[in-house]
Amino acid sequence: MQDQPTIVLVDDDAMWRFLSATALRERGFRVEEFEGAEAMLAGLGGVRPDLVIVDAVMPEVDGFELCRRLRRIPEHLATPVLMMTNLSDEDAISQAYDAGATDFFIKSTHWTLLAERVRYLHRAACLQRELVASHARLAKTHEAARVGTFDFEVATGTFVGSHGSFAILGFEEPRTTLPLASFLSLVVDGERDRVRAKMHDLTVRGQPFEIEFGARTLQGVPLTLRVHAEPKAGSDGKVRSVHGVIRDVTSHLNAEAQIRRLVRLDPLTGLPNRNQFLAALNAAITGPGNESRMVAVVVLDIDRFTQINESLGEPAGDALLTEAGRRLGAAVGLSMDELLFIGDAPRSPDAPLLSRLPGDEFALLLPVVADATQVARTTAAMLDIFVEPFMVGGAECFASACAGIAVYPRDGENAGQLLTRADSAAAEAKTHGRNNVGWYTAAMHAEGRLRIEMLSALHKAQERGELELVYQPVVDTVDAHIVNAEALMRWKHKGHYVSPAEFIPIAEESGLIIAMGEWAIREACRQLGEWRSAGVDVGKISVNIPTTHFERPSLESTLEQVIGQHNFAHGSIELELTETCMVRDFERTLPRLQRLSAMGIDLAIDDFGTGYSSLSYLTRLPLSKLKIDRSFVRLLGVSPQGEAVTRAIVALGQSLGLDVVAEGVETIEQLRALVAIGCRHIQGFLFAKPMPPQTLAQSVDGLRQHVLQVVALAQAPAPVTEDEPAEAEEAAAVAPSAIPRAAQATAAETGRATG
C-alpha cells in the first residue's frame, strides 16, 4: 500500500479549513492543519509536507509572504504550493505566481476537482524529483567510475583499454584494442572531421581537449559520447601517447531533455502547459511591433468532467482529455508536430498555441486576430469536436464544453489577466448550461467582487446569529390540520433579508451549505421539540437537503444525535431531496436512503417532475412523499395539459402509496382543481406564507379555521360570470381574518423579504 501524501493546509478560516481537510482526507490524503503562517512555519520541524495548500488572504502573514519564506528554505525550494484564491481575484493570482506558488485554485465545493489538482501537482513533483535524482546518480556513477578509460598509441594509431572502454560502443566480445579508423567509423558523418581535427591538434601540438559528439554503436543505436583526453610526451618532448576517458552521456542528456519537457509540457496530453502558454501569450503581447495587434485567448472547460471521472474512472477521464487535445489541435489547424512541439524548427510567433490547463480545461492562444468573427468561428470549431462521441474504456462517451473568450487589449493588459478573465468568461458561460460561449465583460469582474464580499459575510453569518429559520405549514384540506412544517432558511444581513436565490448558490459553491444545513437540522429539531413541549401540534418537521450535503457521512450522524437528544419517534423528521440527488449514482445512493428510512426519517422528493423521473427508480426508493413542483401547479386552471400532468402525478403517487403534496398554491382555481383530482395536502400562500416559529405557534387554531373557509370556497360551484372569480378571490383574501393580525403581518413581511 502506498503511503498517503502529506498535505499541509494553512487557512485562518476554521470552517473552510475543516471542510477542505475533511474532503481531502476522504480522498486519501493525510492532512496537517494550521490556522496561520507562523504556526505552520513553527511546525515544519515535525512534518515533511508533500504539498502545501495556503489561503492567499490571512491576517498578519498572508499566503504570499508565507510562500516566499518557504522558498527561502532549501528543503522546500521545490515543494509544490497551491494558493487558494477567490473567483476573479486577479491580483491575488498574479501575486501567487510571483511569490513562488506552483498553481492556484479558486475556492469552491468541487472537492473532487481540488483533490485531482492536488494529486496532479504531487505526481508532477514526484516525477521531477525522481528525474533529478536519476540525473545525479547517473552523473555520479560516470564521474566516480570513469567508465571507458583508454590510452591511445600515436605510433600505431590504436586505442588500448579495458573491456569496459569499448563495451559502450556495442562490442559484445571482450576487446582491449581498437584502431582509430574503426572508432571514427562509428562517429556520425557530421561530427567525424571535428573529432579527427581534435585528435590531430592533441598528437601534433599537445593540446588537451574535451569534446561531445554523436556516434552509433555497432548495432546502429545512436548515442552521445563525451571524451576527455590529455597528451603524454616522451623524453624528446613529442607526444607518444594520449590518456583519456570516454563516457556515454546519452541517458544524462535524455534526462535533462525530459526535465525541460516537464517544465513546459503537460505530461498527460503532451501539450504545452500553463507556464508555457503564459510565456507565449506574454510574447504575443509585448513583442516588437505587437502593440497594436489584437490577441485572443479562448479557455475551454469540459462540462461535467467530474461526473465522467466518477462514473467511468480516472483512466477513462485521462483518455478523454488526451483525445480532446488531439481533436482540438486538428480543429484549429495544428499538425501533430506543431501541437506537441516536435522537431527542431521553432514555433512561429504568429501560429496558434493550444495548451492544457490543470483539471479539465484547455486554452488556445490566437496571437494574430483580424476581428471578433474570426475568434467566434475558431471557438465554434473547437466546440464542434464534441459532436462525435469519445471512445473511452471500450464505450462511447458523449461530452460537451463551454468556452470563454478574452481579447487583448480590451480585456486585459497582461498575460495573467487575459487568461484569468477568459477563465471567468468560461465559468459564466457554464451557468447558462452546456455548450455555451461567453465573452468577458467588465460586469463579470464587478459581479465577481460582489460574490466575494457576500461569501466573506456568509462565512461569519452563523456565528453572528444572522441565520434564521421560518416555517411554512403543509395543510390537510380534509380535516384542516397541519401535516408538517417546512423549515426554510433566511439570512438577515445588516438589517435586511438577503434573497435565498442569491446566498444559497454561493453557499453551495463554497461548501458552506453543509455547515449551514447541519445547523438547520439541529435548529429545526430543537424548535419541533419546543413546540411539542408547549402542546403545539405542527406534525413533522421538514428540511431541504442539497446533494452536496446528502453525500456527506456527517448527515447520518447528525440525524442520529438529534433523534436521540429529543427522543423523537419515527416519522418526526422529513428530508426533502431532489430527484437528481436520489438517482445520481443510484446503486451507491440507495443504501444510504435505506439507512435513513430505517432510522425513522421520512423521505420526500421535492420539485417532482422537474428532474430525472424514472418509474423503476421510484418503485425501489424508500419514499413517503412526492411534492408536485409549483411550475405544474401554476398551470392549473390555465392549461389543460398542465392539469393532465398534475393529475398523472397525483395518480402515480397514490398508486405507489405515497403522500402527494402540491406546493406553490396561490389561487382558489388551483385549489379547486387539486381538490377535484384528489390532492388533499396543500402548501402555498393561499393558506400561509413562511413565518417565524412563535407566529406559527400562535396561528395554529386560526389557520385551521382559515383552511376550512378557503376549502369551502373551492368546493362551491365554479362562477359562471366574469365578475364572480374576482369576488371569490376577494372572499379568499378576507378569509384569513381567523389568523391573528400579528401573524398575518409577519408572514407577509417574511414573504416579501424572501421574494
Q: Average pLDDT, stretch 424-448?
A: 82
Instruction: Tell me if the pTM is above 0.85.
Output: no
Q: Are 475 and 707 in contact (CB under 8 A)?
A: yes
Distance CA 341, CA 690 (A): 62
Name which residue leads in pLDDT, 746 or 525: 525
Residue 718 has pLDDT above 70, yes or no: no
Closest CA to 375 of 332, 411, 409: 332
- For the ranges 80-94, 315-329, 622-636, 698-712, the lowest mean pLDDT is seen at 80-94
What does the DSSP assignment read for 82-107?
Answer: EEEE-TT-HHHHHHHHHHT-SEEEE-
Residue 104 has pLDDT above 80, yes or no: yes
Cell numbers linked to 500? 435565498
Cα atoms in the 13 Å half-sphere on the side-chain side of 664? 14
Distance CA 404, CA 430 (A): 9
Per-residue pLDDT, 519: 95
Is residue 494 exposed (0-12), middle (13-18) or buried (19+ Cβ within 10 Å)?
A: exposed
Q: Are 686 and 693 in contact (CB under 8 A)?
A: no
Per-residue pLDDT, 48: 86
Distance CA 523, CA 243 (A): 87
Per-residue pLDDT, 334: 81
For residue 19, the cross-strand partners are none
Per-residue pLDDT, 535: 94
Q: List pLDDT tens digits, range 584-597.
A: 677 788 899 999 99
Q: Average pLDDT, stretch 726-747?
A: 41
Q: What confidence tier does 463 reach under pLDDT thresholds 50, 70, 90?
A: confident
Q: Name all domains of the chain by residue range, CATH numbers in brackets.
A: 1-137 (3.40.50.2300), 146-254 (3.30.450.20), 269-459 (3.30.70.270), 465-754 (3.20.20.450)
Q: List pLDDT tens digits, range 242-263.
A: 888 888 888 888 888 777 777 7
Q: What confidence tier does 163 reach under pLDDT thresholds 50, 70, 90?
A: low
Per-residue pLDDT, 143: 44
What does the DSSP assignment read for 302-362?
Answer: ETTHHHHHHHH-HHHHHHHHHHHHHHHHHHTT--HHHHTT-SSSPPPTTS-EEEEETTTEE
Name which residue leads in pLDDT, 721 or 157: 157
Most confident of 1-10, 214-223, 566-575: 566-575
Distance CA 103, CA 53 (A): 10
Q: Average pLDDT, stretch 503-530?
A: 91
Long-range contacts of 447-453 (CB under 8 A, 24+ apart): 448/86, 448/87, 448/88, 448/89, 448/424, 449/88, 451/87, 451/506, 452/86, 452/87, 452/88, 452/89
Most confident of 125-139, 165-179, 297-311, 723-737: 297-311
Distance CA 150, CA 141 (A): 18
Q: List pLDDT tens digits, range 524-554.
A: 999 999 999 999 999 999 999 998 898 888 8
Q: What confidence tier does 383 reach under pLDDT thresholds 50, 70, 90?
A: very high
User: What is the average pLDDT score of the chain?
Assistant: 84
Cell numbers linked to 198? 581534435
Cell numbers linked to 563? 433523534
Q: How many residues does the chain have?
A: 755
**Cis peptide preceding 409, ω within 30 of 0:** yes
Residues of the chain above pLDDT 70, percent:
88
Per-residue pLDDT, 750: 37
Closest CA to 383 of 359, 356, 364, 358: 364
- For the ranges 15-29, 75-89, 731-745, the lowest mean pLDDT is seen at 731-745
Q: What confidence tier does 89 reach under pLDDT thresholds 50, 70, 90?
A: low
* End-to-end CA, the chain: 54
Q: Is 190 helix (H, G, I), strand (E, B) or coil?
A: helix
- For the ranges 310-314, 410-414, 551-555, 702-706, the lowest mean pLDDT is seen at 310-314
Residues of the chain above pLDDT 90, percent:
40
Contacts of 193 (CB under 8 A, 6+ apart): none
Q: What confidence tier does 155 reach under pLDDT thresholds 50, 70, 90?
A: confident
Q: Are 506 and 455 in contact (CB under 8 A)?
A: yes
Q: Average pLDDT, stretch 95-108?
A: 86
Q: List pLDDT tens digits, range 476-496.
A: 999 999 999 999 999 999 889
Q: Please state, in angstroms and as integers, the Cα–Cα distance from residue 482 to each residue in 101, 477, 490, following that order.
A: 57, 9, 22
Name which residue leads in pLDDT, 430 or 717: 430
Distance CA 212, CA 194 (A): 10
DSSP 207: -
Residue 661 has pLDDT above 90, yes or no: yes
Torsions phi, psi for 154 (to 5 deg):
-65, -40
Residue 317 has pLDDT above 60, yes or no: yes
Closest CA to 295 of 382, 421, 424: 421
Cell numbers linked to 739? 389568523
Closest CA to 728 of 751, 711, 747: 711
